[in-house]
Amino acid sequence: MGGPGRGGSPVAPSPLRLLATAPDAPTLLRESEPQHPRRLAVLLSGGVDSSVALALALAAGHKVEAFYLQIWFQEDFRNTWSACPWEAELRECEAVCASLGQVPLHVVRLTDDYWRLVVDECIRDVRRGRTPNPDVLCNSRIKFGAFHEWLEANRPGEFDGIVSGHYARLECEKEPGTAATRVHLHAAADPIKDQTYFLSQLSAAQLARCVFPLGALTKREVRDVAHRLRLPNAARPESQGLCFLGQVRFPEFIRAHLGDWPGPILQHETGALLGYHQGFWYFTPGQRRGIRLPGGPWYVTRKDTRRNVVFVSRAYHQTAEADRRLFRVNNLVWHESPATLPPERGERGLFRLRCKTRHGPETHDAQLRLRPGFRDAEAVVVLAQPDQGLASGQFAVFYTDDGLCCASGVIDGFPSGQSLRRRRNAA
């Protein structure tokens, strides 16, 4: 029962108070760190996940302010696609903040940083025939990079951490004999929603500032919390787009920035001319959709970016098997020192790990061998099972069997099938 209100009438407890004292509160608030009340900056996008993360941070007793990151130039959308995605999102954010007790909401314009650190690089990679992942770059460089720098410059010392609606778990461990704390990144409780793949390029310092309230919850539980709190966006459909495209289709974005470059489509096995395409950058290995040729289904096997040729086959699994098993990774970010991982067969620099090559629940048993002389920054990886659609520019993320995220790197090429056979024999 609530206390008496004006005139002696009882005041009903707020939904947040009910949430904080509910029987399932220990589970709901497990990753929100209620035992350490702090002042937190919450990244709010207008979606259900970030809104529930905000609510859980409030219920856990933290002092919070919400921040909406504007990363698109409004004029770019209106001039090119006649729709500005962030205006509707901002209205959703305002409604959510009002429903949770007038949480302060701020708009932070990071358009210059976003184009310089994410979009420009993605366009360069696409032009080179690579397949970038802007969501990975956005997290490490913008949401937990440029935004933190903005806080330090404009609100110095006012916030102890950054909250987001990502599905991931963090474990803090005191370093023996020191006051330092080591942060471990773990896969979320919901394997379908787990987003450690997108967070895998964050530095140790960035992870130490993060709070992920949704890490111990399933998507169904998150949606249930939204309904229990009567959040205005509780029934909002889940977004499926890339973080920097919103409602815009990827081919439309590429066409606006790179244009079309017509070229031939050749059969992988024979070199026969089958048709024409509008630019190799619209295709990625393993792709089936968008290949309008008779007698299919046809799959992209590779691209010759210098000659603007796309090769396709109806027997993709046979023609590209080696490319889909063996690859190089560089720019490795290690969350767990290689020295702390048990070496495979006692061989230094050789590890048996689980590998993700895209967001989703699927992982591969993989062998990772560090390349000597590269200070643990480059490695060669052999997957136990084929993975169709591997492409340079994608990220490969490595885990232990229990979901501890160890490392993340960029796929940067495919050694020959002969190298694969030698490694299989050695294994």
DSSP string for residues in 210-228: EE-TTTT--HHHHHHHHHH
What pLDDT, on a 0 to 100 scale, did the predictor assign at position 417? 56
Give me the residues paired with residue 170 across strands.
Answer: 185
What pLDDT, on a 0 to 100 scale, did the predictor assign at position 79? 47
What is the C-alpha separation between 306 and 127, in angstroms, rounded? 10
Residue spans in the chain of domains classed CATH 2.30.30.280? 260-319
Question: How crowded is residue 259: how many other Cβ atoms within 10 Å of its Cβ?
Answer: 10
What pLDDT, on a 0 to 100 scale, did the predictor assign at position 319? 66
What pLDDT, on a 0 to 100 scale, did the predictor assign at position 427? 45
Strands 350-356 and 364-370: what pairing? antiparallel
Beta strands in 97-180 (DSSP E): 105-109, 161-163, 169-174
Name, in order, each residue with C-beta under 8 angstroms of 364's C-beta and a sequence gap of 6 or more.
354, 355, 356, 357, 383, 384, 385, 387
Residue spans in the chain of domains classed CATH 3.40.50.620? 12-228
Do 32 and 60 contact (CB within 8 A), yes or no?
A: yes
C-alpha triplet 150, 156, 159: angle, nearest 5°: 90
- Among the listed residues 361, 357, 369, the one whose alpha carbon sits nearest the alpha carbon of residue 397: 357
- Whether 122 sits among the annotated catalytic residues: the reply is no
- Whether 243 sits among the annotated catalytic residues: the reply is yes
Q: Is 371 left (phi over 0), alpha (psi -120 to 50) or beta?
A: beta
Single-letter amino acid code for the residue at 294: P
**Three-state secondary-structure class, residue 202:** coil
260-319 architecture in CATH? Roll (2.30)
**Three-state secondary-structure class, residue 322:** coil
Can you count the helices (H) and strands (E) in the chain? 15, 17
Name, in order, each residue with C-beta under 8 angstroms of 324's C-beta and a sequence gap of 6 or more.
286, 383, 386, 387, 388, 389, 390
Residue spans in the chain of domains classed CATH 2.40.30.10? 326-426
The CATH fold of domain 12-228: Rossmann fold (3.40.50)
pTM, rounded to two decimals = 0.89
What pLDDT, on a 0 to 100 scale, did the predictor assign at position 389? 78
What pLDDT, on a 0 to 100 scale, did the predictor assign at position 414? 87
The CATH fold of domain 326-426: Elongation Factor Tu (Ef-tu); domain 3 (2.40.30)
What pLDDT, on a 0 to 100 scale, did the predictor assign at position 72? 74
Active-site residue, from 93, 97, 122, 138: 138
- Among the listed residues 281, 56, 22, the one whose alpha carbon sits nearest the alpha carbon of residue 165: 56
Location of structure tokens 């169709």 = 388
Active-site residue, from 84, 210, 243, 355: 243
Supply the mean pLDDT for the chain: 88
What pLDDT, on a 0 to 100 scale, did the predictor assign at position 180? 75
* Ranges of the chain whose pLDDT falls below 50: 1-12, 75, 77-79, 81-82, 322, 418, 420, 423-424, 426-427
